[in-house]
Amino acid sequence: MVGCPICNSYNVKRFLHLKMPIVLRSLPYKEAINVSIEELIIYNCYSCYTGFNITPLDDSKIENIYSDYSGYISPFNNIGASKFNNIIQVIKSFIPIEESVTEIGCGDGYSLYLLKREGYADAIGFEPSKLANIGIKQGLKIINTFFRKEEMEKLNIKYTNFILSHFLEHVNNPVSLLKELKNFLNNSYIIIETPYFDGFHHEHLFFYTKKSIFKLAEKTGLELVYLKVMDTHPETLIAVFSDSNKSIKKYYIEKEETHSDFIKLIDRKRNHIHRNIYLLEKKVKQYNNILFWGAGISAVFYLNTIKDVLDNKNVVIVSGDKRHEGNYIPGVLKQIENPFKYKNLSFDLIVVLSQFYEEIRENISKLKIKSNDLIWIY
């Protein structure tokens, strides 16, 4: 019997069943052809309103994914800077610039770069993948390994504030992790940003709601002092925890979802995926000369859902991130090109397959790439 890993309830139901490549970014051809397409099954808990992945990848596959991660979003490579706007503002509201900040899963270190620019001198990050090298070259203090208590001891860090930006959804035991981080708090904070019941792919193990966050506070003994759903695309949750033994002021905390709210939320998220697939297939069938812009999660997932429809179409896939140029989309095995190659050219249809629509739309405009139709799928 399937039970909720967060609250141990058996009041669970299957929410989503998809098939997709296990790596959702472009890769060199020799790697792309070996990416398996596997089932993803997500259940929902109707007690704590948490979604959870019951088909996690085995350890060897997930370690291979996390050791590379080189094609992941990198503002230093011209994509994704807007992703950091909200969490940086929250960090500035809670953490004085003279205090220690430790980011777990910092990627290329762009948030550390932004904090350094704001005056935070004592900021470090942990990142096990090759992405760390990008930030290290920028002069940022990034430890190129997984976060461990032993690493903190080596660095002589007794107390700190933690940043977990799009990290907690990857963790297989979030309660255990948060309890471990609690030992490093001293009138300090754990600031978390995570998709708001979204990001349905193999790397993500949990899908959080506001009620999920309240449950994590209850299970860990942490004090929730801030909780808000951010009106982004897709939506995210930002939560701030503190050590409940300390007297820390509570800030803005949104109410947890009612049962009716949760039903509406999961229906909206599921329908969003199905509507996107329907719209994308309809538009691709309608046109012949098509440019797709994107090489990440949305591009890999949605292009594979319409793989058969792409036959006999003149398809071009581009990315403004030069790291993807020459790589291939796993599954469909279409090559990524540089968008500058198509400057001043026209297409029947342009499809933006990325959450960063505004950034890409601006690049399309600068390159004067024209189209009869344009749609955004994320």
Q: How confident is the model at residue 73 (pLDDT cuts 50, 70, 90)?
A: confident
Q: Are strands 161-165 and 12-21 parallel, antiparallel or unpaired?
A: unpaired
Q: Report the distance separating Cα 325 and Cα 329, nearest Å.
A: 11
| Confidence check: pLDDT of 299 > 60 | yes
Q: Report the distance separating Cα 125 and Cα 211, nearest Å.
A: 29
Q: What is the pLDDT of residues 143-180, one digit of tens each?
A: 999 999 999 999 999 999 999 999 999 999 999 999 99
Number of domains composing the chain: 2
Range of 364's domain?
Answer: 266-377
| 249 or 202, greater pLDDT | 202
Q: Report the distance separating Cα 349 and Cα 345, nearest Å.
A: 12
Q: Report the distance separating Cα 99 and Cα 150, nearest Å.
A: 21
143 and 270 belong to one structural domain: no
pLDDT at 82: 85
Q: Report the distance separating Cα 48 and Cα 214, nearest Å.
A: 9
44 and 189 belong to one structural domain: yes
40 and 181 belong to one structural domain: yes
How far is C-alpha 101 from the chain's CA centre? 21
| Confidence check: pLDDT of 247 > 60 | no
Section 219-248 average pLDDT: 89
**Domain harbouring 272, CATH code:** 3.40.50.720
330 and 242 belong to one structural domain: no
Q: Report the distance separating Cα 156 and Cα 140, nearest Å.
A: 18
| Confidence check: pLDDT of 237 > 60 | yes
pTM for the predicted model, two decimal places: 0.94
Section 27-46 average pLDDT: 97
Q: Report the distance separating Cα 229 and Cα 235, nearest Å.
A: 7
Q: How confident is the model at residue 1 (pLDDT cuts 50, 70, 90)?
A: confident
Angle between helices 110-118 and 85-94 (to 10 degrees): 50
Sign of CA dihedral 22, 28, 129, 77: negative
143 and 271 belong to one structural domain: no
Establish if 260 belongs to a structural domain: no
**Domain harbouring 115, CATH code:** 3.40.50.150
